[in-house]
Structure 1
Amino acid sequence: MFQSFESSGDPSVGKPRVALLRQWMKQNGIDGFIVPRADEHQGEYVAARSERLKWLTGFSGSAGVAIVLANSAYVFVDGRYTLQVRDQVDLGIFTIESLIETPPALWIRENLAKGTRLGFDPWLHTIGDVKALKASAEKVGATLVPLTENPIDAVWQDQPDAPHAKVEIHPETFAGELAKDKLKRLAAAISAEGATHAVLTDPSSLAWTFNIRGGDVPHTPLALGFAVLAADGSHAVYLDKRKLGRTEEAYLTQLADIKAPADLEADIAALARSGRQIALDPALAAEKLRALIEDNGGSLILATDPARLPRATKNSAEIAGSRAAHRRDGAAVAKLLCWLDRQAPGSIDEISVVTRLEEARRLTGEETQMPLRDVSFDTISGAGPNGAIMHYRVSRQTSRVLADGELFLLDSGAQYQDGTTDITRTVPVGKPSEEMRERFTLVLKGLIAISTVRFPAGTRGADIDALARMALWRHGLDFAHGTGHGVGSYLAVHEGPQRIAKTGMEKLLSGMILSNEPGYYKEGHYGIRLENLILVTRPDELPGGDIAMHGFETLTLAPFDQRLLRTDLLTRDELDWLNAYHARVLMEIGPMLDGEALAWLEKATTPIP
């Protein structure tokens, strides 16, 4: 089993642990401390050792911040976690704030008292974040204080050790390009920025650049480490050598010097003192690295991580791998949905669906000689009101039976060596209400609108996000999350910089893979989300048009539940898209099924007149 079903959060931890933190603050002359959900790499995916926010508060979400002062404490979360956070933190200790409407920088400006010394760990905040926090603190006469020791680490007695899972080489068959060729491209990009060196702080960039994968964080094949790339080709990788076997060490030695992570600070300082021009991505790099460069008289260049866009724009091998992975994954999901259809309401619970789906993926991988390596995130398996919790994580304490008259939301994904998947389907348990059917159809209209849009070069995710919401908006409805996130190639299921959201400012480029996942959530009752992964296609000319247009190719292959459709709410074009999609699903994954599962798929993809 890849997924754990342990309790995802414990409100009772807050009071004693906040007391320990406050004692440390008092002893060290600090009036407050900021605790982000982050590690030294500023990624969404962190090792157990870095789950400081969860340890302190009980909140287990993937994004959040706490601010603890002498007599008050606050937890900041976004719209995905507004329900979850209230179940997981002690509301007698913490006040809940919006990470979107009143982010910490704004909150500091409006709430912090003059003279307050607010501590932070400069390894756990980006350059950009600290700039905003510092400006707000100075505006009210407070001081942002970088600490040399993280107080959570000082009081967390059983804090796990740093991970050192084994690194493996990612074959060119799946990577599509040799690491030495990638390094040449990146060296040229570094030089073009006017830099002599660039620091890769994102483990996804490290993995992509050197064609390696690891296992240091849950569900994402990352090896935690850094790289310092040089325009002249004298690269260095900072990895714990316990992660490297002989073959992997010999492979990396041909590409870069291998150094201990503990050497990074001294090496950055030495480069700075020697007058090198060092590039850091202000949205990704830790404030500590900026301080090391500038405090040692170095020249800092703020520039985008040079691997970020090349990693996001998949090459032909990565695209072919993703298509193959989605066919395989679609067959597994179809087997699961067929099985689910045969279960009587009240006979199974959320956990049983998760374990059955994981088994279907494992068996399908074995049958096709492409094993399931892991799930790509903890499966969201939400029945009834649990489905309304956007990032609900099922545990043995919360698992609900799938009851008659409810909706069941299943958001899951897989890691295969040739691709990463992420799919959401919502199905009825028993007979759905008319309201459920109406809102399911409105959500589907949003998914179809994104699937069929054509757009010119330069279009950003923010420019098309509204298309996923328009049908809902017409009925006074909406959803409190982005429409789509980027997806890696046997890497992170949430990959930047591309996204479809109100804040999605990155241009959508050919080869980018994103999710398309509108939803609707009725608190305390049900949730609806429908999700396919989509690939940005190369621009082509439209008949009679003047401008070449991009579009999206849908990668995910699994039927939508027609029992929840209100066909009278769909236009003819929308019905034609749905029928064509279902015909493609049957054509591509039908040959991988037989017997009962194939019969189920044939029925589930029956054309709608």
Structure 2
Amino acid sequence: MLTEVTHAERLAALRAELARSGVDGLLIPRSDEYLGEYVPPSGERLAWVTGFTGSAGMAIVLAERAALFVDGRYTTQARQQADTTLWEQRHLTEQPPQDWLAEHAAGLRIGYDPWLHPQSMLDRLAPSGAVLVPLAANPVDAVWRDRPAPPAAPAVPHPLAYAGRDSAEKRAEAAATLRAAGEDAAVLADPHSLAWLLNLRGGDLEHTPLALGFALLHADARVELFMEPAKLSEAVRVHLGNAVAAHPPAALAEALAGLGGKAVRIDPDATPVWFAATLREAGATLRPGEDPCRMPRACKNPVEQEGARAAHKRDAAAMARFLAWFARHAPQGGETEMSAAGRLLAFRREQPLFRAESFPAISGAGEHGAIVHYRATPESDRPIHSGECYLIDSGGQYTDGTTDITRTLWTGAREGGPIPPADLVERYTRVLRGHIALATLRFPQGVAGPHIDAVARAPLWQAGLDFDHGTGHGIGSFLSVHEGPVSISRAARTVPLRPGMILSDEPGFYQPGAYGIRIENLLLTRAAEARPGQTRPFLEFETLTLVPYERRLIDCALLTPAEHAWVDAYHGRVLAEIGGAVEADVAEWLQWACAPL
């Protein structure tokens, strides 16, 4: 962690730069120009200024005060990382930035980088009374003297055997959507859309296989790709074909200027406002609308669905090896949060088609498990003791799919070890009941994420408990571990779930200073078999994850007969599908872990 003096000096230097820029304050989002959750080191402006390294948040700097806004996943982490004498701590949704601006910055000129904000964000801030001023240059960059260079990893083709659909077919379908809407072109500002549309992957981010860039999709299915030329080998250019014209990023402004008089779709939630300003200046007609690649990308095709199933089986074998290893070693002491996470990564690396972790593993023992997005560092790494709760949230990027799984474990020996406390067992069981309720839900077509969030919370609510994060998020296909447009959360957009979508199912409970509980599987949305008298189509979930639960934390007396039977059936499936894919000693542990409750 950087010292308090260093962050105070950085904040002072930034304030001096703001004065030179003629503004009274600055908005500093977590995102970079691609507006993604994960950013390269060159885009970590929020972390550089504040010290907070979480994947979501915003800061506002004024001449005499500054505030850091984070959601419920990061409130504890923000207090630990960002100096509270420099930064007021605020909850992103309960104490939103617009309220803070209205109280402290009404009438003031607040600068923003038009490359780092979507229009939807500025619209939320506009009623605050602050005067939002676009800046030609980012003041943080002006004072960040040792800022890393932007990433320059090569782009690579994503084989049709894993993509499932040819790029030309996808381009034709997306272009038809534009023509039907009377639009001439669409701005593709999300690199995930480029990756999906062009069957392209890359290495510009550590955990998400993207080649960063922008594109314009035309109504005749032509694509103009704006990416550093050094990323595009001759083999990649051949893969892209003649209908995709590659240009350096510096050519983007000129290309937008050439759209004067055209109707251009632009996603207000996923596009930096720089694009809209440039298109307006060129005389284009802006048509707000969703990125035409976003929904097709979320609905996995049959090849991607089979890839997800295969990836989860291999990932489950790695997890089984890890859990068997953990069961032997954790009660003996000598392991730490970082050593356990490293061991799990080593098991995953042995699996075919493994490429990287899908995010930095959350390996939290005891009180660290209560920090929702905790990341062990050499400074925070602590021993894993016998007789405590341990939470491991991790995932893998495989060429045929992306995984994300959380298990909460008890570190005592299988026999004769410390007994879990009653309150931990009760709360774990309630979390498990909510997890099962969502996994087994049947629901009519048209239902969206916010409509089913309460299903996973109800067993906790009955005891006056809750958790301060969403219940589920979308998952990409060898893409981001967090993918829109659908999520399961009270705050989510009301986008109906559709067949082919993969979402997480991860209720939890967190006792600050003591332990954290979270149980996560991935679910594939599919059509449900019709029942007699059914009057409309229904959907259901297929569970992809195949890893046993912590049986020592389950109170069978709290389970309904149906829940009890579901756990036994799930464990039977895990044993049948994974038991033959692991070594004899791991298979023996699986026999114990998957035995009927």
Relative to the length of structure 2, the TM-score reads 0.97
The amino acid of 2:430's aligned partner reads L
2:308 equivalent in structure 1: 322
Q: CA–CA distance in 2 between the matches of 1:402 and 1:593?
A: 25
2:70 equivalent in structure 1: 77
1:523 equivalent in structure 2: 512
Residue 539 of structure 1, CA deviation: 3.6
> Out of 323, 339, 364, which is 2:325 matched to?
339
Residue 112 of structure 1, CA deviation: 1.6
Residue 10 of structure 1, CA deviation: 5.9
Superposed CA deviations along residues 265-324 of structure 1, whole A, max 9, x for unmatched, are 22112212xx11111001101111111111222100001000000000000000000000
1:249 and 2:261 matched? no
1:427 and 2:409 matched? yes
2:357 equivalent in structure 1: 375
Q: CA–CA distance in 2 between the matches of 1:561 and 1:215?
A: 36
> Out of 350, 369, 382, which is 1:387 matched to?
369
The amino acid of 1:122's aligned partner reads P
Residue 55 of structure 1, CA deviation: 0.3
1:512 and 2:485 matched? no
Tell which deviates more after alignment, 258-267 or 60-69: 258-267
1:184 and 2:172 matched? yes
**Conserved 8 A contact 2:442-2:528:** no
1:486 and 2:474 matched? yes
**Conserved 8 A contact 1:383-1:402:** yes
Q: Write the mapping of 1:346-357 to structure 2, written as runs, cut at 5 A.
A: 346-357=333-344
Q: CA–CA distance in 1 between the matches of 2:156 and 2:545?
A: 27
Residue 546 of structure 1, CA deviation: 2.9
> Out of 342, 357, 360, which is 2:347 matched to?
360
Aligned length: 589
Q: CA–CA distance in 2 between the matches of 1:58 and 1:584?
A: 45
Superposed CA deviations along residues 30-73 of structure 1, whole A, max 9, x for unmatched, are 11001000111111011110100000000000001000000001
**Conserved 8 A contact 2:353-2:400:** no
Q: Percent identity?
A: 47
1:167 equivalent in structure 2: 155
Q: CA–CA distance in 2 between the matches of 1:134 and 1:295?
A: 21
SS in 1 for 2:277: helix
SS in 1 for 2:258: helix
Q: CA–CA distance in 2 between the matches of 1:554 and 1:11?
A: 46
Q: CA–CA distance in 1 between the matches of 2:272 and 2:529?
A: 41
**Conserved 8 A contact 2:256-2:282:** no
> Out of 129, 136, 148, which is 2:128 matched to?
136
Superposed CA deviations along residues 144-168 of structure 1, whole A, max 9, x for unmatched, are 1100000011110011111110111
> Out of 543, 546, 550, which is 1:557 matched to?
546
Superposed CA deviations along residues 196-252 of structure 1, whole A, max 9, x for unmatched, are 000111111110000000011120001110110000223201111111222012222
Q: Write the mapping of 1:207-246 to structure 2, written as runs, cut at 5 A.
A: 207-246=195-234
> Out of 33, 51, 57, which is 1:64 matched to?
57
> Out of 260, 263, 287, which is 1:301 matched to?
287
Residue 514 of structure 1, CA deviation: 0.3
CA distance 1:269–1:360, shift in 2 (3 Å): same
The amino acid of 1:361's aligned partner reads R
> Out of 456, 473, 477, which is 2:444 matched to?
456
SS in 1 for 2:74: helix
Q: CA–CA distance in 1 between the matches of 2:47 and 2:229?
A: 29
Residue 76 of structure 1, CA deviation: 0.4
1:537 equivalent in structure 2: 526
Q: CA–CA distance in 2 between the matches of 1:105 and 1:266?
A: 34
The amino acid of 1:402's aligned partner reads I
**Conserved 8 A contact 1:313-1:511:** yes
CA distance 1:508–1:13, shift in 2 (3 Å): farther
1:145 equivalent in structure 2: 133
Tell which deviates more after alignment, 512-521 or 530-539: 530-539
1:23 equivalent in structure 2: 16
Alignment gaps of 5+ in structure 2: 413-417
**Conserved 8 A contact 2:110-2:131:** yes
Tell which deviates more after alignment, 317-326 or 285-294: 285-294
> Out of 249, 254, 260, which is 1:266 matched to?
254
Alignment gaps of 5+ in structure 1: 1-6
Q: CA–CA distance in 1 between the matches of 2:595 and 2:575?
A: 9
**Conserved 8 A contact 2:117-2:273:** yes
1:92 equivalent in structure 2: 85
CA distance 1:336–1:152, shift in 2 (3 Å): same
The amino acid of 2:568's aligned partner reads N
Runs of 4+ in 1 over 4 A off after TM superposition: 9-12
Residue 538 of structure 1, CA deviation: 1.5
Q: CA–CA distance in 1 between the matches of 2:98 and 2:285?
A: 27
**Conserved 8 A contact 1:189-1:306:** yes
**Conserved 8 A contact 1:542-1:549:** no
> Out of 276, 280, 285, which is 1:290 matched to?
276
Residue 11 of structure 1, CA deviation: 5.1
> Out of 590, 602, 608, which is 2:579 matched to?
590
Q: CA–CA distance in 2 between the matches of 1:230 and 1:113?
A: 42
**Conserved 8 A contact 1:439-1:520:** yes
**Conserved 8 A contact 1:381-1:410:** yes
The amino acid of 1:347's aligned partner reads G
> Out of 13, 29, 38, which is 1:45 matched to?
38
> Out of 111, 116, 122, which is 2:114 matched to?
122
1:396 equivalent in structure 2: 378
2:415 equivalent in structure 1: none
SS in 1 for 2:595: coil
Q: CA–CA distance in 1 between the matches of 2:21 and 2:356?
A: 43
**Conserved 8 A contact 2:174-2:221:** no
SS in 1 for 2:59: strand
